[in-house]
């Protein structure tokens, strides 16, 4: 008989799925790394388990402890699944711009959820960075994960996602495109792929209101670039240690409107029911068209599942209220 000992053993080995209609104008083969097949429905399951295992190994996380993290929802889900299997409690801090579905899902798997305002700077004591750090200091027998600066985040993708993409494309991948938030995925996958073939191009998808693109191009952290935006899960108003700018060849920025519209189009034209950042990712691929030739194999990573955005991206009343559709 073939079966997994627990749900954590089903993480990884997600399929590559070809895009057809939305990429018809491109000369190359475009394949999506379809991470919703993970048990928590997102790529974050990979690094959540790796961060927990590494913290257990060096004693930062002790038996019966409480896991504390600031999350946009998906890392929290991965941490919660691992906590259930391993016997930990969870407290997750989330900003009020994240979808209600994400908050409900975290509570459904037994986590305590603390909601913070989105439109405050990272240093503000009310920000989700500050609140999660403070809870980590105040809660007995707790471990503050800090996915932004935790090296296990990057390591997880160097050891699993990168090798999977290399093997699934038989080493023929020429470009990797992914939305950038904590930086663990692009840095871990990018480092692995460039180790295998330094000619592979690594592209980050950024959003307007985030600092990544300008910092990569100029080395300047420009606070004028920072303003509230709607797209969930990508972009930052800080520079996480997990973003290895040295392995990234370039960034393209995608508007909130394009991210939302293309998320809907993925569902309606490709049958791919995905989260907000997938729309940004595929629009980013289309914006990079001039960099691709007929011999290229472009892999774009789709982070999470559409069920977490039903009240927003897939709700046309909400889309109209944002001015995203007529």
Which active-site residues does the annotation give? 44
177 - beta bridge partners? Answer: 203, 300
* Contact between 287 and 23 (Cβ < 8 Å): no
Whole-angstrom distance, CA of residue 106 vs CA of residue 115: 12
Query: What DSSP string runs through 275-291?
Result: -HHHHHHHHHHHHTGGG
Q: Which tokens in the block code for residue 324?
A: 């995203």
Whole-angstrom distance, CA of residue 116 vs CA of residue 94: 6
Phi-psi region of 19 (alpha: psi -120 to 50; beta: other; left: phi over 0): beta
Neighbours of 316 (CB within 10 A): 11
Identify the CA nearest to 71 among candidates 37, 113, 109.
113
Question: Could you say which DSSP state residue 37 is in?
Answer: G
* Contact between 182 and 146 (Cβ < 8 Å): no
Stated as kind and residue range, the H or E segment containing 114 is: strand 112-116
Whole-angstrom distance, CA of residue 72 vs CA of residue 232: 7
Whole-angstrom distance, CA of residue 98 vs CA of residue 69: 15
């Amino acid at each position: 008989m073939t079966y997994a000992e627990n749900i954590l053993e089903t993480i990884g080995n997600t399929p590559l799925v070809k895009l057809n209609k939305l990429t018809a104008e491109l000369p190359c083969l475009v394949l999506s790394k379809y991470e919703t097949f993970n048990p928590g429905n997102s790529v974050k399951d990979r690094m959540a388990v790796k961060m927990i295992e590494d913290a257990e190994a060096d004693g930062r996380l002790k038996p019966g402890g409480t896991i504390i993290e600031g999350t946009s929802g998906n890392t929290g889900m991965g941490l919660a699944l691992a906590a259930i299997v391993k016997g930990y409690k969870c407290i997750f801090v989330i900003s009020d711009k994240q979808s209600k579905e994400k908050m409900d899902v975290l509570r459904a798997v037994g986590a305590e959820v603390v909601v913070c305002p989105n439109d405050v700077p990272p240093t503000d004591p009310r920000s989700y960075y500050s609140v999660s750090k403070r809870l980590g200091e105040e809660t007995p027998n707790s471990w503050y994960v800090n996915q932004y600066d935790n090296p296990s985040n990057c390591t997880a993708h160097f050891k699993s996602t990168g090798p999977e993409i290399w093997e699934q494309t038989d080493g023929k991948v020429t470009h990797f495109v992914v939305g950038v938030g904590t930086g663990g995925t692009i840095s871990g996958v990018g480092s692995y792929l460039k180790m295998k073939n330094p000619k592979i191009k690594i592209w980050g998808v950024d959003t307007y209101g985030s600092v990544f693109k300008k910092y990569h191009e100029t080395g300047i952290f420009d606070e004028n670039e920072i303003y509230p935006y709607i797209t969930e899960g990508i972009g930052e108003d800080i520079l996480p240690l997990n973003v290895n700018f040295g392995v990234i060849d370039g960034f393209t920025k995608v508007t909130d409107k394009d991210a939302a519209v293309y998320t809907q189009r993925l569902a309606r034209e490709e049958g791919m029911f995905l989260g907000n950042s997938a729309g940004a990712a595929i629009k980013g691929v289309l914006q990079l068209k001039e960099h691709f030739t007929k011999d290229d194999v472009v892999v774009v990573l789709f982070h999470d599942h559409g069920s977490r955005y039903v009240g927003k991206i897939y709700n046309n009343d909400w889309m109209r209220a944002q001015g995203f559709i007529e």
